[in-house]
Structure 1
């Protein structure tokens, strides 16, 4: 049955009898809660209303408090583990002051609020675009657009040495560019010295950010655009086009000159090789003729008449072999011959004609079977 109905043993959930009417006492509720908490630490749960405070104080267990404190400390220390990626550095501060820089891997530090961690990506390539009006050395105005690529070199300096390193880099870029452009001619900046301006600007920017200890390193500086103000852009475009035409014509002329020079060198080398070959041929022929002459001289000294006859016959053979004339010995007794004049006149080779006997080259009084006619000794 319900607690407030008759026959409920005179009790209600607040521990009052039926004779007590009205709401429960608030002090009794607080006292009951305190007794239960004291029981958790090993203390007794009794005590009068007046002596409850003293009873709870005596019932608290310092061992339980220490155990709970250790658990809380362990859980708190687990929040100190962190992982640094390969492209990052971890910067640890203790009460806001720099303590150390950690590298990749699993690390640990005292959790907040004692120490704090900041991760800095040192491999990320960042870009800064700068566009401004610049005054050149010859007092002309040019519009220059520059792109600066940079990375974090020193995480500690990047976080603590300068309030805003990226803004410092922006200001250093403008200052360095003004200095370099201010010492250059306008035509050079717009045409053939863009690379020089970019390279010198990069060196000067790096020098400035190093002096301020920003922890940044400039990897590249590229000049995206350089042009005069809009009012004179058309005129400068014509000038630039004329210069480009000049350069193109020079390159074409140099290419043609190189081609002609190479051909001339080839012809010269060919003529030199032919001359050397002709020289070797003439030298070899001269040496051969000299040896032949010496050998004939020896034969002539031994038999002058026979050698003279042999030289005469060989000379006639050499001369008559290249002529179209036919000599016939009428003393041979064969006066009837068929001469193919058309073939004889058209044939320059030293070949025998069918039906035509070889002309006799003997002198009167000398027989063909004489050994002296064959060069015999």
Structure 2
């Protein structure tokens, strides 16, 4: 049914809410009813004569409640928590105000701006660069930088993009250090020293820029020549490794031969000292023997002379292998083959299980001398009988 459909005999429009003769609800009346309800809620009185005054008091009380509630909410929004690994930079009306330590903190909302910064997290940035060395060779290096935020206020306020500044400063530092280093050091044992020098130079740059960044460590992850000449550089590195290996082998050989030579030299020195002591002892013994022999000679010269003669002959016969004896008064020469006699004696001794030594030869010589004496005495007796 449409709103303007006739209803009843008086030809008035029909109320769609079923109100009959009533028109649409009055908005002012609804607001008054709502004010009366609030006035009754907060202790006001409603009546026909006091509607204006009660409405004014209601409006003031409502505003106070709303203001108090807003103030409470505003105060509660100002509380925040800072973790142990964080620091907070506080800006008041856009200007630096304070750096807040960990714990429960409060700052007025909409007035202060709080920026939290993690100061214990170790961050890392890596980059790869191709650069010239001191001897004008091209090398490719990959480096990583580990850092932490040391000063949150400088990190947030002094530099627009601290991490980009860090990367640019690191590239500048590595180029400066590599530009003062020969290529062989860059590719081999000089990488650790390069990392130390880059670390020091990079930290000076960051302190000068006031980035608030502290560099923990700089690692040279890789250093290699360009791929176009990689094969030639591999040959050079192999040659250096061979050189180092040969040096180590030579050093090992020297370490083995030098102590041995020193040992032989020491042994010769000891043998020389022993020979010296032996010669001195023999000389002293011979001198003492000669002194005692002189004493005995003075007591019995003939006997001592005979004994010295026999000892001399014995020594001569000991070293001789053949003896020719001229028999006095005859034309025959006696030949004594001492070597054959010695061999015969050695064979007999071996058969008997005996060992031939200087004592055996001395006994054989004594026997020959005694035989010569008997032959000489026999010859003398025969000549006397004639």
Please, what TM-score do these two structures have when normalized by structure 1? 0.62
- CA-to-aligned-CA distance 1:21-67 (integer Å, 9 cap, x gap): 2332221111111222233333223357xx84543113456599369
Q: Quick check: 2:82–2:101 contact (8 Å CA) kept in 1?
A: no
Q: Quick check: 1:41–1:60 contact (8 Å CA) kept in 2?
A: no
Counterparts of 1:227-306 in structure 2, within 5 Å, are 227-264=224-261
Counterparts of 1:298-337 in structure 2, within 5 Å, are none
From the superposition, tell whether residues 226 and 81 of structure 1 become closer, same or farther in structure 2 (CA, over 3 Å): closer
Q: Which residue is 1:9 aligned to?
A: none
Q: Offset of 1:140 from its aligned partner?
A: 2.5
Query: Partners of 1:230 and 1:118 in 2: how far apart?
Result: 47
Q: Which residue is 2:57 aligned to?
A: 58
Q: Offset of 1:347 from its aligned partner?
A: 12
From the superposition, tell whether residues 139 and 346 of structure 1 become closer, same or farther in structure 2 (CA, over 3 Å): closer
Q: Any idea what SS the aligned residue of 2:24 has?
A: coil
Q: Which residue is 1:143 aligned to?
A: 140
Q: Which residue is 1:28 aligned to?
A: 29
Q: Which residue is 2:179 aligned to?
A: 182
- CA-to-aligned-CA distance 1:143-181 (integer Å, 9 cap, x gap): 111111111111111111111111000000111112122
Aligned length: 290
1:38 matches 2:35: no
Q: Offset of 1:102 from its aligned partner?
A: 2.7
Query: Partners of 2:32 and 2:46 in 1: how far apart?
Result: 10
1:166 matches 2:163: yes
Query: Partners of 2:138 and 2:192 in 1: how far apart?
Result: 19
Query: Partners of 2:68 and 2:144 in 1: how far apart?
Result: 56
Q: Any idea what SS the aligned residue of 1:214 has?
A: coil
> What are structure 1's unaligned runs of at least 5 residues?
1-17, 298-340, 349-377
Query: Partners of 1:84 and 1:215 in 2: how far apart?
Result: 20
Q: Any idea what SS the aligned residue of 1:147 has?
A: strand
Q: Which residue is 1:80 aligned to?
A: 79
Q: Offset of 1:267 from its aligned partner?
A: 6.2
Q: Which has the larger radius of gyration?
A: 2
From the superposition, tell whether residues 262 and 345 of structure 1 become closer, same or farther in structure 2 (CA, over 3 Å): closer
Q: Quick check: 1:42–1:61 contact (8 Å CA) kept in 2?
A: no
- Of 104, 110, 113, 1:113 maps to 110
Q: Quick check: 1:77–1:111 contact (8 Å CA) kept in 2?
A: no
From the superposition, tell whether residues 237 and 54 of structure 1 become closer, same or farther in structure 2 (CA, over 3 Å): same
Q: Offset of 1:128 from its aligned partner?
A: 1.2
> What are structure 2's unaligned runs of at least 5 residues?
1-18, 293-348, 358-386
Q: Any idea what SS the aligned residue of 2:44 has?
A: coil
1:103 matches 2:101: yes
1:226 matches 2:223: yes
From the superposition, tell whether residues 220 and 256 of structure 1 become closer, same or farther in structure 2 (CA, over 3 Å): farther
Q: Quick check: 2:35–2:58 contact (8 Å CA) kept in 1?
A: no
Query: Partners of 2:262 and 2:56 in 1: how far apart?
Result: 114
